[in-house]
Amino acid sequence: MIGHRLAKWRLSRSYTTAVANADVVVCGGGISGTSIAYHLAKRGKKVALVEKDSIGCSGATGLSAGLVSAPIFWQDTSLQAIAQASLDLYSHLAKTCKFRYVKCGRTYLASSMANEILLRRMYSRGVVHNDKVELLDCQSEMLERWPFLQTEDVQLALYSPEDVALDPVALCQHLALIAKDHGALIYESNPVLEVHIGDEKQVYGVSTKMGFIETSHFVDAAGIWAGSHLVKALPHQHVQTAAYPCTYSYIHTSKLPTGSVSDMTPIFNDLDGNIMLRTTSFKTLCAGFSEESIRPLARQTGSATPWQHPEPDWNVFDSNLEKLISRCPMLGECNHGDLIVGMEAYTPDKLPTIGESSQAKGYWVMCGMNGQGLSLAGGLGKVLGELMCESQSSTADVARVDVGRFIDLHANSQYLIGRTPEVAALTYSNLYHSHQCHTARNLRMAPIYHQLRDAGAVFGEIMGYERPLWFEKTAKSERNALMSGQDSLVGKPDWFERVASEYEACRERVGLMDMSSFSKYDITGEDAVEYLQFLCSANVDEPIGTTVYTGMQHQKGGYVTDCTLSRLGDKKFFMVAPTIQQERVLVWMKKWQAILKARVHVQDVTGAYTALDMIGPSSRYLMGDITGLSMSSNDFPTFRCQEINIGMATGIRAISVTHCGELGWVIYIPNEVAQNVYEKILEAGKEYSLQHAGYYTLRQLRIEKFYVYWGQDINATVTPVECGRLFRVDFKVRSIFSFFMRESGEFQKDFIGKKALEEQVERGVSKRFVQLLVDGHDKETDPWPQGGETILKDGRPVGLTTSAAYGFTLGCQVCIGYVENKEFGVSPEFVSSGHFEIDIAGKRFSCRLNVHSPSLPMISSEHPLHYRPTQ
């Protein structure tokens, strides 16, 4: 009885008085948790690392094979940078600490054309940094080097020397030790019980089994348990994350019965078989990633639940085993070993998730490693450390990995259960921008989805929204209208002829495009103008009816986003931003609204409007016909907006900006009248041979006109000066709002980032966006540019392409990319002199460079004054 009372008293005491306080509490002792704890401790933060079991031993890290992929694997440059940072960290640690670290390298094998091109592309991006990367196309040479493999059907092998096999548990323990040396507190066997949030949803402390820790920052790096911590004040009682646990399986067996394997034998990844093999002098690990062998697990509830291995299922692993034995026949002689089923958190887009949750201030997440935890967590810890301490990362652009890329639907369990097994199956596949998943589709659809489908649309998903990519000529009603997989990397893609025809319609007649996926916001309120003047780099205080294209910059001048702002009233703006910005921009605007205490109301109205883009010279007459208004260049010039009626429908917002540099209008139709208006447009459009066009046409149009897009070409690391959009920045703008800049110690009255931009103008830039016209490219047989190709000047790498398309008017492949000259800056001479080439999958093509939008000739009678996006 007394003991009971005592225990009760102790318990209550431990809750009332904090056992510790810390700048940051990190939950999770896996590679993610120890990495972020290490980086924060090194930055001088007081860190408390809380692990429910022991460091490195439980969770996905403890069960992993300890393989680290070199940056060459990733197509995306920021992931390359993150992977490189991980490798740098681990190799640095390996020099000072004692743990198993073997730089064994990795060999990728391709036996199909598609994967061969993938490897060639991997090679051309890898060889820039490391000349030890090898390509092998001779089967007997492969056999000689790796006699235990069956190489007859292998078309191409790529050897990447940088890949590492290490001891993940020891690595975590060393990271934790170093963090401890820098003052971090490490609590093992101490699960997090609750994260407390108070006023304005700010984290103020964390309850753990050992007691309460006072802190204002909590990093959730709990792996498959991420997002399961109790947060009582939130509607779901926990922070919602877009990561979901799935199984993955591998066999752990004895050494191959041959003398030709050693610890230095590379890891093998057979891209066509989707299998992986790691052989050493004392064991063999073999994994397979066939989609049917992966199953989603129940969402983990409460971090206190123990790690339980799912039951191994040999039946579902059989298809993998078949491929493994056919690739390495000797494996058949090994003992059956153990089939190990691990769990790992996967995200809808196969990229990790870091950043501050918008649901609670000070609640940071670092989860969803998609089976690449070791390869990425080291660098992600560094990036997250930079985000937490400096609010911007200098290591890598975070747009593709931050939490802001997700909206609510991505955190829905049903959505994730559908999607994540497919993602897990793609662990060692290289995905390009055209890649589409086949699971969890048809979630968000425009009201006119079925009409578009009947008209032949082939859909691609973006943020859960199905948008038409192109239109088939003869559409069968029974067909699968959802694109899945990715475009061929070599030769003309399937859609080429169709897009050519849609392109022609948009250039010479009129095309109709569904643009409903774009993010849309209503910004209203007393301070709307002043507030936007503070956020935007262009002058938005223009008369009602004006549309302004502007960037929103952060303090360092980079684009948080670009957008068009249409002034609908004295204190009412309608904002349109890229699709993928739906959450990120909202969070940015709300953050500044709170800081400035501005009296504005920002409302996300993305789902309320169907957007139809009418593109092309005849759009003027078509718009005139359906609205009964004059659409002449005097009455409705470009960059104007107006609320109009079409037929019986009212409340339609027409904006004379097409997002691709052509004449035309985007009309934003309230969803309930969208079908009515759509039919009306089709009816009236017959006279002008109106044709449906898809997103791919928009892409060809805008790239040919050197129209950079946020998220594809530009991002938070790019400033208007670098991408030729300085003419959109108005340095004279003043806002009544001011913000005390801690760094400079003075009040800032200008738009955010003005100072950085001015400095950049003064100093000149070391990076410049250019348009590249590729010469000598045979579109039938050559590999097509995809973005991410190396740009070379006189044989030396100077930059990368960011997106690419076929220029139907220019008659060649067109890329957008940047050239860089870190030491001396990019001067006009730098761009105009020298011989430029790009390297597409190992093949070099000469290029002509444009720094401004080219003027494109037209065949039809009316030659509208062309809007030139890049000047």
| 505, containing H or E segment | helix 496-508
Q: Are 119 and 135 in contact (CB under 8 A)?
A: yes
Tell me how many residues contact another protein (CB under 8 A). Answer: 19
Cβ at position 459, least distance to another protein in Å? 20
Q: Report, in Å, the least distance between residue 317 CB and another protein.
A: 9
DSSP 405-430: G--GGGG-HHHHHHHHHHHHHTTT--
| Cβ at position 165, least distance to another protein in Å | 21
Find the shortest distance in angstroms from Cβ 332 to another protein. Answer: 3
Report the SS3 class of residue 142: helix
> 813: closest CA among 841, 767, 853, 776?
776
Q: Check residue 332 for interaction with another protein (CB under 8 A).
A: yes
One residue of 157, 321, 552, 602 binding another protein per CB under 8 A:
321
Query: Could you say which of 140, 335, 634, 744 contacts another protein (CB under 8 A)?
Result: 335
The token pair at 369 is: 């490693």
Beta-bridged to residue 793, according to DSSP, are 796, 836
In b/e form, how buried is each residue of 766-792, taking b as 16+ CB within 10 angstroms?
A: bbbbbbbbbeebeeeebbbbbbbbbbb
- Of 328 and 577, nearer to another protein (C-beta) is 328
H-run or E-run covering 304 = none
For position 545 contacting another protein by CB under 8 A, the verdict is no
How crowded is residue 285: how many other Cβ atoms within 10 Å of its Cβ?
A: 20
Residue with smaller CB distance to another protein, 332 or 651:
332
SS3 686: helix
Q: Give whichever of 313 and 730 is closer to another protein, judged by the CB atom.
A: 313
Q: Which stretch binds another protein (CB under 8 A): 232-240, 325-333, 547-555, 683-691?
A: 325-333
The only residue of 322, 604, 643, 758 in contact with another protein, by rule CB under 8 A? 322
Give yes or no for residue 277 binding another protein (CB under 8 A): no
The helix or strand, by DSSP H or E, that contains position 6, with its residue range, turns out to be helix 2-16
Unique residue bearing structure tokens 């990519």: 469
Paired strand residues for 803? 816
Quick one: tokens of 44? 């001088």
Q: How far is the CB of 287 from another protein (least distance, A)?
A: 13
Nearest to 482, CA basis, from 447, 515, 445, 433:
445
Question: Phi, psi (5° rounding) for residue 813?
Answer: -70, 135
**Beta carbons of 198 and 204 less than 8 angstroms apart:** yes
Q: Nearest distance from residue 425's CB to another protein, in Å? A: 17
Residue 698 beta carbon to another protein: minimum distance, rounded to whole angstroms: 34
Query: Measured between alpha carbons, how far is 393 from 389 in angstroms, rounded to an integer?
Result: 9
The residue range among 112-120, 322-330, 387-395, 787-795 that interacts with another protein, by the rule CB under 8 A, is: 322-330
**Closest separation between CB of residue 741 and another protein, Å?**
56
313 vs 542, beta carbon nearer another protein: 313
Alpha-carbon gap, residue 251 to 298, rounded angstroms: 23
Q: How far apart are CA 289 and CA 291, in angstroms?
A: 6
- When the beta carbons of 339 and 629 are compared against another protein, the nearer one is 339
Report which secondary-structure segment, H or E, holds 837.
strand 836-840
Smallest gap from Cβ 777 to another protein, in A, equals 45
Cα–Cα distance measured from residue 276 to residue 272, given in angstroms and rounded to the nearest whole number: 11
- CB of 65 or CB of 169, closer to another protein: 65
Task: Give the separation between CA 254 and CA 337, rounded to whole angstroms.
Answer: 7
Least separation, in Å, of the C-beta of 318 and another protein? 5
| Nearer Cβ to another protein (251/463) | 251
Closer to another protein by CB, 333 or 494: give it: 333
Residue of 292, 333, 746, 862 interacting with another protein (CB under 8 A) = 333
In this complex, which beta carbon is closest to another protein, that of residue 31 or of residue 334? 334
Which tokens go with 740?
């005390």
Among the listed residues 57, 334, 483, 577, the single contact to another protein using CB under 8 A: 334
Which residue among 325, 475, 629, 856 contacts another protein (CB under 8 A)?
A: 325
Q: Is the dihedral of CA 547, 548, 552, 555 positive or negative?
A: negative
The radius of gyration computed from the CA coordinates of the chain, to the nearest angstrom, equals 28
Considering only residues 723 through 752, tell me which ones interact with another protein, judged by CB under 8 A. Answer: none
- Given the complex with another protein, which of 97 and 443 has the nearer CB atom? 443
Residue 164 sits at the vertex; the CA angle it makes with 160 and 165, to the nearest 5 degrees, is 135
Beta strands in 616-674 (DSSP E): 641-646, 649-655, 664-670
> Which CB sits closer to another protein, 293 or 735?
293
Dump the DSSP string for 227-250.
T-SB-TTSTTSS---S-EEEEEEE
What does DSSP say about strands 812-820 and 767-774: parallel, antiparallel, or unpaired? antiparallel
Q: Which is nearer to another protein, 337 or 525 (CB)?
A: 337
Q: Is 331 in the site for another protein (CB under 8 A)?
A: yes
Q: Per-residue x/- marks for another protein, 291-320, CB under 8 A?
A: --------------------xxxxx--x--
Q: How far is the CB of 334 from another protein (least distance, A)?
A: 5
Tell me the closest approach of the beta carbon of residue 442 to another protein, in angstroms: 14
Task: Provide the 3-class DSSP secondary structure of residue 572.
Answer: strand
Q: Which pair of structure tokens corresponds to residue 28?
A: 């999770």
**Nearer CB in complex with another protein: 286/849:** 286
Q: Which stretch binds another protein (CB under 8 A): 186-194, 321-329, 392-400, 468-476?
A: 321-329
What part of residues 251-270 is at the interface with another protein (CB under 8 A)? 251, 253
Site string for another protein, 786-815 (x = CB under 8 A): ------------------------------
Residue 627, interface with another protein (CB under 8 A)? no
Region of 50-58, 76-84, 296-304, 324-332 interacting with another protein (CB under 8 A): 324-332
Binding mask 200-239 for another protein (x = CB under 8 A): ----------------------------------------
Q: Which residues bind another protein (CB under 8 A)?
A: 251, 253, 311-315, 318, 321-322, 324-325, 331-337
